[in-house]
Amino acid sequence: MAQDQDINRYYRGPIYRVLSGLFGVFLIAIGIYAIFFGVVGVLMRVSLGLLITLLGIDALWSALRSKQAWITRLGPFI
């Protein structure tokens, strides 16, 4: 009965945590790449690169803590 009330049990699964952590590392790498090698203006390149890197760091940190990441909350809006 206690498992029915636990809404975060999905985020504690080992497969979810590993995939979420790997996706976080991927987003960090893409964000850093966008900051240094983007082909748009400096302001847009740095701001979007930092945003992508921040989402990646949060995904990695959330995977380590077994919590829901910000990117999963953005999913329905995309």
**Spans of all domains in the chain:** 11-72
∠ CA 62-18-64, nearest 5°, is 30
Task: State yes or no: pLDDT of 37 exceeds 60.
Answer: yes
Cα–Cα nearest to 15, from 71, 47, 63: 63
Q: How confident is the model at residue 73 (pLDDT cuts 50, 70, 90)?
A: confident
Q: What is the pTM of this model?
A: 0.81
Burial class (CB in 10 A: 0-12, 13-18, 19+), 15: exposed
Q: Is 24 in contact with 57 (CB distance < 8 Å)?
A: yes
CA atoms within 13 A on the CB side of 76: 1
